[in-house]
Amino acid sequence: MWNATATAAAMAGCSCSSPFSTPSLFSHPNSNSNSNSNSTGFSSLFNLPSKASSSPSSTQFHSFCLHRSHSLLRPIAAAVSVESPPLENKKLLLEVKDLTAVIAESHQKILSGVNLKFYEGEVHAIMGKNGSGKSTFSKVLVGHPDYEVTGGTVTFKGQDLLEMDPEERSLSGIFMGFQSPVEIPGVSNADFLNMAYNARQRKLGLPELGPIEFFSHVYSKLEMVNMEMDFLNRSVNEGFSGGERKRNEILQLAVLGADLAILDEIDSGLDIDALQDVAKAVNGLLTLKNSVLMITHYQRLLEYIKPAHIHIMENGRIVKSGDETLASVLEKEGYKAISSV
């Protein structure tokens, strides 16, 4: 099922019915919270004008996906890679083997045998021509219902990811930041985040946070992405500019956390300052355990968030992998320099 955790997970970068937008996660206003946050909400607590209500319905969350985990995040400087331990000490985070997938409705093949190995704490980037399958790959990882896996395996933290529904994927620590973040009219950003956070806490058997405690948690994250407090009171992504939506995705990631954050074109539509803010925030979330998979068309993002590995996708599979020099070759010579055909 695609639910709030999924939504949250998806909003944090996924797609739809479970790790991110699950209705079940939002359907317990009187659950065992230490704060009754769902019924009170940020708006009333802080006297913010109530532009958005605080009661998202399950339907509102159904078209999202999302992500997250709540690992502790250690800030580091922007444009600085986390120093990796030697390979033999690294733990395998994600292993994709011969993954094939089709569009569920039409059975059109999009992924034709993706292979990828990802260790904890690593940053990877996937580049490739328009339509090569990058977004499809990321959506398949979070369990987007538009796609059907037809072959191959995906192991995440030692578990069969393909056996999990989208919400379980989110709860297991995958977050997806979408290329086109979805609006949730009538639901304030703060209440959405608080509910998504508490939904995850509930699922993990951890204490929930009421509006006041949650405000402290979210306030420092706002600073991280250089967003004004007013954004907390606005409906999720409604009326946000393209750049504000991208910042909001990273805010969700910062609030919810993730072992693996998948960021689909997080740099698109960002001005130079916003790109630096977003990159700094993402770098601030990296630890020896937290990992990022970026999808991008541009080398400039990779100048701020340094990937250890760059992969080129073509016709639904990874045709070349290398270090950052691959991005420089692409920038100078285009995809013809590395095309497999």
Ligand X SMILES: Nc1ncnc2c1ncn2[C@@H]1O[C@H](COP(=O)(O)OP(=O)(O)OP(=O)(O)O)[C@@H](O)[C@H]1O
CB of 143 to ligand X, least distance (A): 14
Q: Per-residue x/- marks for ligand X, 91-120, CB under 6 A?
A: ------------x------x----------
Q: Where would I find the beta strands (DSSP E) of the chain?
A: 12-14, 19-20, 65-66, 92-103, 109-119, 123-128, 147-156, 159-160, 174-177, 184-188, 235-236, 260-264, 291-295, 309-314, 317-322
Q: Distance between the two ends of the chain, CA-based, in angstroms?
A: 39
Give, as ranges, the residues between 146 and 165 that touch ligand X (CB under 6 A): 146
CB 340 within 8 A of CB 314: yes
- Can you name the residues that pair with 328 across neighbouring β-strands? none
* Residue 128 lies near ligand X (rule: CB under 6 A): yes
Residue 128 or 210: which CB sits closer to ligand X? Answer: 128
Query: What x-and-dash track marks residues 216-255 binding ligand X by CB under 6 A?
Result: ----------------------------------------
Among 32, 59, 130, 216, interactor with ligand X by CB under 6 A: 130
CA gap 132, 15 in Å, rounded: 19
Q: Which two tokens stand for residue 1?
A: 């099922």
Applying CB under 6 A, does 125 fall inside the site for ligand X? no
By CB under 6 A, name the one of 7, 38, 132, 283 that touches ligand X: 132
CA 288 remoteness from chain centre: 18
134 sits near ligand X (criterion: CB under 6 A): yes
> Pick from 131, 151, 239, 242: which binds ligand X (CB under 6 A)?
131
DSSP calls for 15-44:
-SSSEET-TGGGS-TTSS-SS-HHHHHHHH
Q: Total binding residues for ligand X by CB under 6 A?
A: 11
CA-based max dimension of the chain: 61
> Could you give the CA distance from residue 123 to residue 62 in angstroms, rounded to a whole number?
30
The residue range among 123-131, 148-156, 161-169, 197-205 that interacts with ligand X, by the rule CB under 6 A, is 123-131
Q: Does 17 bind ligand X (CB under 6 A)?
A: no
Nearer to ligand X, 139 or 309 (CB): 139
Residues that bind ligand X (CB under 6 A): 103, 110, 128, 130-136, 146
